[in-house]
Amino acid sequence: MANPLASCVSSLRSTNALLSSSISILDSGVNDFPRLAKVLQTTRVCPHLSVYLILITQSASIFTVVLLAGLTCSAKITQHFELLPEPTIQSAQTSLLASLTPEVASLLSKVESHLDKLARREQALIARSELLEGRIGEGRASMGGPRGSGAGERSSVGMNGDGSREALRLKQLRGKKERLGYAVERLVLQAQQRERQLRMSVAAQ
């Protein structure tokens, strides 16, 4: 009776030892998992995204798209590497193009409308300035005698004041029109540059 019990106790001890050895092996194998999870963690979106660089590599006729994002968060530059499938890149490009095109078109339409309004206002001011100049010329030509001279001088001073104000306003409007024209050119150049970048990225695929 003692021998079977002894063999059972021996088997239980060997099983316990094997279990302890297995636990220690598993512990040594998984104790580094939290650090690896933190090291391999990737971030696709950051509020301070500075650089997107898309590299397309070919390996055994399989295209792998590698997206390198240089992120500057909290005044610290960190590089995150993440493998993304090609359809994801194409979807992002399509979404970006679809979101940018209406905004650029809307901005250009608003700028053109404002420029047309300024052009009409400029023409009206030019016509008014010419009318005031004509009145000033007629007043000077019709002046006669001391009284007429005094009244004409007062009228001329008033008209000259109005004309100078209109001229100053016209000059300001012309400057504003030039600034808006420069803004339109800058927006057009930015839109063309973004379209070229999108076309190059699509053509590279």
Residue scoring higher pLDDT (164 or 50): 164
- Compute the average pLDDT of residues 51-67: 37
Tally of residues, the chain? 205
Q: Which residue ranges make up each domain of the chain?
A: 1-40, 42-84, 90-204
CB 135 within 8 A of CB 159: yes
Which residues have CB under 8 Å from 204's CB, separation 6+? 54, 56
According to the model, what pLDDT value does residue 204 have?
63
Q: Which residues pair with 73 in a beta bridge?
A: 76
According to the model, what pLDDT value does residue 5 have?
80
Among 28-37, 48-57, 78-87, 104-113, the range scoring the smallest mean pLDDT is 48-57
Which residues have CB under 8 Å from 95's CB, separation 6+? none
Residue type, 23: I
Residue type, 68: L
CB 184 within 8 A of CB 115: yes
- Calculate the CA dihedral of residues 113, 118, 123, 128 and round it to 10 degrees: 140
For the stretch 118-129, pLDDT in tens is: 888 888 888 887
CB 170 within 8 A of CB 130: no
User: Which letter, b or e, does each residue of 57-79 get, where b requires 16 or more Cβ atoms within 10 Å of its Cβ?
Assistant: eeeeeeeebebebebeeeeeeee
